[in-house]
């Protein structure tokens, strides 16, 4: 009888001969190589992965400029087979601080990119993770650096901002950030996307709202997109700029841009609030309750059972999991 190398496809008849009497599982699913696993049980799992949101723009160094809202973390929802007795590494991405890109969330080869953070001198909103960058600061593109098979996650462009008026909104999973066309009100962040994987319809991954500038008078910061986006900071003729709000934790929401204030346009007494931090990412897995999951201590999680399914929500850390 010929001998065949494990994991190599030779045709159904040859595989049946090679693995006679064993359980044969075709490991052909999203983002996997075409290989076969002997003696492993395939477990169908619904998965949601959201990257960390980007931090909004703004700091004292920006003087009187308006700043954009941070982009939301990338958003991916899919169903995939995982295998008993196999370790998989789960990582939850942190949100970016002011002006910084959020971190990726991932399960092995599949990840959602962190949202774009906005540099201190950039009025445009940051892109959502996986979206294209619409900021003039090319260092803040929200592009994932995850391993292969990352593919495209939902993340949209940030909106355009005007430095002497209001900043653009950050991109969300469900839509692009709004653009400022000459208003002292900051532009709104793009909306997120809803999922019922945790048992109720919840929206996550909204972009941050743009901050405003008091150069032409007081203004209001843009609203964060639905799904955890932080609001942009307001502006007035006081000597203190308002900070942008943080994105909501475990939604991947983008941080709001800071607002710029001034006591006198003519003597250059300007002050700028900080951009809000991006919200941390989120990973959830839903599978038949007859299976058991073993979770490493490095992951913060909550496990519930509902309607014959186990729902595991990971909210921080990195470690391995396995099914049995």
Mean local confidence (pLDDT), 264-288 = 83
Q: What percent of the chain has pLDDT over 70?
A: 75
State both tokens at 108. 């092995």
**Amino acid 38: pLDDT:** 64
Interval 1-39: pLDDT, tens: 333 344 444 444 444 444 444 444 444 344 554 445 567
**Amino acid 63: pLDDT:** 63
Most confident listed range (117-121, 122-126, 176-180, 234-238): 176-180
Lowest model confidence (mean pLDDT) among 26-40, 187-201, 275-289, 299-313: 26-40
Dist. CA 117–CA 58, nearest whole Å: 10
Question: Is a pLDDT exceeding 50 seen at residue 233?
Answer: yes
Band of residue 136 on the pLDDT scale cut at 50, 70, 90: very low
Mean local confidence (pLDDT), 137-160 = 56
* Residue given tokens 């999922």 in the structure block: 195
Q: DSSP string spanning 37-97?
A: EET--EEEEEEEEEPPPPPPP--GGGTT---PPPPPPPEEEEEEEEEBT--EEEEPPPPP-
Question: Is a pLDDT exceeding 80 seen at residue 132?
Answer: no
**Amino acid 196: pLDDT:** 94
**Amino acid 294: pLDDT:** 97
The whole-chain average pLDDT of the chain stands at 80
- Parallel, antiparallel or unpaired: strands 282-288 and 269-272: unpaired
Dist. CA 206–CA 229, nearest whole Å: 5
Nearest to 128 by CA among 51, 84, 74, 77: 74
Cα–Cα–Cα angle for 163, 164, 166, rounded to 5 degrees: 70
**Amino acid 64: pLDDT:** 66
Of 279 and 13, more confident: 279
**Amino acid 79: pLDDT:** 86
What is the DSSP secondary structure assignment for residue 227, as one 8-state letter? T
Q: What percent of the chain has pLDDT over 90?
A: 42
Mean local confidence (pLDDT), 111-133 = 73
Residue 31 main-chain phi, psi, to 5 deg: 60, 35
**Amino acid 148: pLDDT:** 39
Band of residue 145 on the pLDDT scale cut at 50, 70, 90: very low
Band of residue 213 on the pLDDT scale cut at 50, 70, 90: confident
Dist. CA 286–CA 117, nearest whole Å: 31
Q: Assign residue 113 a region (left: φ > 0; alpha: ψ between -120 and 50; beta: otherwise).
A: beta
**Amino acid 62: pLDDT:** 66
**Amino acid 226: pLDDT:** 97
**Amino acid 96: pLDDT:** 92
Question: Within 10 Å of residue 163's Cβ, how many Cβ atoms?
Answer: 20
Interval 33-88: pLDDT, tens: 444 556 778 899 999 999 999 999 887 666 667 888 999 998 988 888 888 888 99
Band of residue 153 on the pLDDT scale cut at 50, 70, 90: low
* Extents of the domains making up the chain: 1-40, 43-324
Mean local confidence (pLDDT), 158-183 = 88
């Amino acid at each position: 009888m010929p001998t065949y190398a494990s994991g190599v496809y030779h045709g159904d008849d040859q595989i049946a001969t090679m693995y006679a009497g064993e359980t044969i599982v075709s490991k052909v699913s999203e983002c996997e190589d075409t290989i076969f696993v002997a003696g492993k049980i395939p477990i169908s799992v619904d998965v949601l992965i959201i990257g960390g949101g980007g931090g909004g723009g703004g700091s004292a160094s920006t003087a009187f400029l308006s700043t954009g809202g941070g982009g939301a973390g990338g958003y991916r929802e899919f169903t995939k087979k995982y295998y008993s007795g196999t370790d998989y590494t789960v990582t939850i991405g942190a949100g970016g601080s002011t002006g910084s890109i959020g971190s990726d969330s991932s399960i092995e080869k599949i990840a959602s990119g962190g949202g774009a953070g906005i540099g201190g001198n950039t009025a445009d909103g940051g892109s959502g993770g996986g979206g294209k960058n619409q900021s003039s600061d090319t260092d803040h593109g929200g592009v994932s650096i995850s391993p292969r098979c990352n593919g495209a996650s939902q993340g949209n462009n940030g909106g355009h901002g005007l430095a002497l008026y209001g900043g653009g909104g950050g991109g969300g999973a469900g839509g692009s950030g709004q653009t400022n066309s000459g208003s002292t009100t900051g532009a709104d962040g793009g909306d997120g996307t809803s999922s019922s994987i945790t048992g109720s319809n919840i929206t996550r991954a909204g972009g941050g709202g743009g901050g405003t500038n008091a150069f032409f008078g007081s203004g209001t910061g843009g609203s964060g997109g639905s799904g955890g986006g932080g609001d942009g900071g307001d502006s007035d003729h006081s000597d203190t700029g308002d900070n942008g709000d943080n994105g909501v934790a475990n939604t991947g929401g983008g941080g709001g841009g800071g607002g710029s204030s001034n006591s006198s346009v003519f003597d250059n007494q300007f002050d700028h609030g900080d951009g809000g931090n991006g919200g941390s990412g989120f990973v959830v897995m839903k599978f038949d309750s007859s299976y058991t999951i073993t979770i490493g201590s490095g992951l913060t999680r909550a496990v519930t059972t509902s309607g014959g399914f186990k729902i595991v929500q990971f909210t921080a850390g990195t470690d391995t999991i396995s099914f049995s």
